Amino acid sequence: MTNKNSEMMQRDLEVIWHPCTQMKDHETLPLIPIKSGKGVYLYDFEGNSYLDAVSSWWVNLFGHANPLINAKIKSQVDTLEHVLLAGFTHEPAIELAHKLVEITPSALKKVFYVDNGSSAVEAALKMSYHYHLNGGKRKPLFLSLTNSYHGETIGALSVGDVALYKETYEPLLISNMQVPVPKDQTLLAANEALKVLEEVLIDKSEEIAALILEPLIQGAGGMHMYHPAYLTGARVLTAQYNVHLIADEIMTGFGRTGKMFAFDHTEVSPDFMTLSKGLTGGYLPLSVVMTSDDVYNAFYCDYNDYKAFLHSHSYTGNPLACAAALATFEIFEASDVLGENTKKAAYIQEKIQKFKQFSQVKEIRQQGMVTAIELKGYDTKERIGLKIYEYALTQGVLLRPLGPVIYFMPPYVISYEEIDSMIEVAYEGIRRLALPL
């Protein structure tokens, strides 16, 4: 290990508390200081490369140090770095909002800028509750799916259902309840879950402001996947019972599921859509809440403190982030990204069939450019995911399993040869570490 690496690790651990990390692990698990990134690779100070198979927490679409996105941000920083979006506006925010309205489901006509995924969920929850309040109804209850995850601020945590994140803070959470997520990707499972949803709406709809869900893929919930028929049925039922439908597309948006948005696998529109992560191509924090004219008009009036939506963040609609997002869309428009992703997803599907030979593989799931291999027979204390993560790093691949679930969510610029490497390392990791000798 070079002196530079050693010095950086020591100085880091003196002061930084890392996210989603038990810091005591770093007594034996070295941090990896990253010097640079290019394409699908990250490079450390010793010259080692790591194939970023998880898109640096699901945000990167078109590779690290993408030349076009770099250039657009550099150009913007010389013009306007930031301005408040209350009483002022700027061209990148306007152009991006028009682009989002153009490409999202048809009912979504208004854009509310926020600055990260959890904050977007918070804003959508508040908008939904406040909409009903402006219409004369108090509906303090939110509905979500079992095994769901929507972020880690208090409101977002409240509507999630991953015990690891939620149980500690339960006394702080807002009113919520869960209905079953479809148990698998079959139509039968979708219809069974819809029956339960309807029963709950019949009984509780006068109290429920909104149903929030991660469409098609539950990210932090082990990449659990389900059939798009559930989205269509949920839209019909929530509309029937005057309950909003919030589509949390923070992870699933911008091509991850095989279409631009997960809701594009249906013919219906939600009342709200939250977007972040890939919105800026993985460069800068930015999120939005998309919503309908109906919701917007419920707040539109002569000045009234209680009816207005008085919600804000300092960096709302930041010009640099908006410029990165516009560059990201420019890449989508310049080439057939989704078509190429379809070919790559089919290639991944073919290559992962060999994992079925392992008795410890419980299930293989895929939706677009997201693939999950779930292992069985391991107690959480065995930390099999951490062992595979450590092995993969020694082979130059960044995997970050979700417990016993190994998944691939690479940047779209990954080559077929790099796909082979990514899959082979995961395969060898399972062969060496997850199977009995």
**What residue segments make up the domains of the chain, in order of their start?**
32-65+336-434, 70-333
Are residues 244 and 128 in contact, defined by beta-carbon separation less than 8 angstroms?
Answer: yes
Provide block-wise average pLDDT over 10 residues at a time, the chain (437 residues): 82 94 91 96 96 98 98 98 97 98 98 97 98 97 98 96 85 95 98 98 98 98 98 98 98 98 98 98 98 97 86 96 98 97 98 95 97 93 92 97 96 98 97 72
The C-alpha R_g of the chain, in whole angstroms, comes to 22
Q: What phi and psi values does residue 309 have, to the nearest 5 degrees?
A: -95, 90
- Using CA atoms, how far apart are residues 126 and 246, in angstroms rounded to an integer? 12
The per-residue pLDDT for 1 is 62
Contacts of 53 (CB under 8 A, 6+ apart): 392, 397, 398, 399, 408, 409, 410, 422
The per-residue pLDDT for 437 is 41
Superfamily of domain 32-65+336-434: Aspartate Aminotransferase, domain 1 (3.90.1150.10)
The per-residue pLDDT for 435 is 64
- Using CA atoms, how far apart are residues 79 and 319, in angstroms rounded to an integer? 9
Q: Do domains 32-65+336-434 and 70-333 have the same CATH topology?
A: no
The full length of the chain comes to: 437
Pick the CATH number of 70-333 from 2.160.10.10, 3.40.640.10, 3.40.50.1980, 3.40.50.460: 3.40.640.10
In 3-state terms, the chain is what percent helix, strand and coil (to 5)? 45, 15, 40
